[in-house]
Amino acid sequence: MKALKITGYGNPKENLDMQEVALPSIKENEVLIKIHAASVNPIDNILLSGAFDAVMPVQFPGPIGFDVAGTVIEKGAAVKNFNIGDKVYSRLSEAGAIAEYVASDSAIVAQKPTNISFEEAAGLPLVGLTAMHSLKNLGRIKAGDKVFIQAGSGGVGTFAIQYAKSKGAYVATTTSTKNVEWIKSLGADLVIDYTKEDYTKFISGYDIVLMAFGDEHTLEVINSVNNVGKLIGLNGALDKDALDAWGVQGEQRAYLENAGKHVLEAAMEKGIDYRFTVHELSAAQLDEITQLVENKAIKPVVDKVFGLDDSIQALEYLASGRAKGKVVIQVQP
């Protein structure tokens, strides 16, 4: 079967290669999925760059891609909750979504929403789990909360806006001029054009602030706003819970603790509860996403679909920062 492989740290064009590899074998608790679609996420390019080597090192040649949607074609003896032919989706525990087949623990696989395509479903798992963990588990979102979501036109942003609105929150977000009206159509109450206005002037007094970018932007918010409840990072400084979740120890932990120390200390001085998001792999939360999609509270946002042989271009396009929503790879129609 075909599978995209990381051959070394660097950029997509020079360090990715489509290879022929053996079909995966499955364990008793796993299902074998014929992949119809996969999606790419910033974490894929981060892993490729080597910037995350301290947390998730790659053994070359290594697989890439975590979001998958497809059909169950084989199941292990212990698998009771799926049948052959089930249409499913998942955020894989290990990379390998940009391939024709993948084996996955059935405990992190869910039935895909019936009212959307495989391509739309493939764009949901990682961003959906990230947004839900950030807003539901860390933010404890409730009706009436004021929520700020940085980068509303990104994959996490487009999902988080809709999810927060489904919970009855007031939602503010940022985007560029050309996307303002489109982001309003997703339900955002306040859309700040970051090319014209300083968004930090608008978000004092918010219950949850979700930051898509790294330390420089997070510090800008910490230093500029007042009376913020929870500040949740998708990038940048790692807190103790994040380091524990990834099992980082020894010199690597000391290095990462020191790298994020200035952000954590600044937040503490302002009385802001800062958390870094490490989303859970959860079939139960995927089932909740399925229900939200089937009830039309969440509409998947897909920017562009590439073919499997154009996977490298898909990752380059994602890295360009121009994507509106998700970038998807159609693997096997």
Pairing of strands 146-149, 170-175: parallel
CB hemisphere CA count around 28 (13 angstroms): 2
Q: Are 324 and 303 in contact (CB under 8 A)?
A: yes
What is the rounded CA–CA span in Å between residue 247 and residue 269?
Answer: 27
pLDDT of amino acid 327: 98
Cβ contacts of 289 within 8 Å, gap of 6 or more:
110, 113, 124, 125, 128, 129, 132, 298
For the chain, give every domain's residue range.
Answer: 2-124+300-330, 127-276
CATH no., domain 2-124+300-330: 3.90.180.10
> Strand locations in 76-140, DSSP E?
87-91, 101-105, 109-111
What is the rounded CA–CA span in Å between residue 263 and residue 269?
Answer: 10
- DSSP states of 268-282: HHTT-EEEE------
The pLDDT profile of the chain, 333 residues, written as one tens digit per residue, is 999 999 999 999 999 999 999 999 999 999 999 999 999 999 999 999 999 898 899 999 999 999 999 999 999 999 999 999 999 999 999 999 999 999 999 999 999 999 999 999 999 999 999 999 999 999 999 999 999 999 999 999 999 999 999 999 999 999 999 999 999 999 999 999 999 999 999 999 999 999 999 899 999 999 999 999 999 999 999 999 999 999 999 999 999 999 999 999 999 999 999 999 999 999 999 999 999 999 999 999 999 999 999 999 999 999 998 899 999 999 998
pLDDT of amino acid 55: 86
Q: Nearest 5 degrees, angle CA 312-CA 93-CA 302?
A: 45
What is the rounded CA–CA span in Å between residue 120 and residue 219?
Answer: 35
Fold of 127-276: Rossmann fold (3.40.50)
pLDDT of amino acid 217: 94
Q: For residue 221, what are its two tokens?
A: 């918010």
What is the rounded CA–CA span in Å between residue 58 and residue 43?
Answer: 13
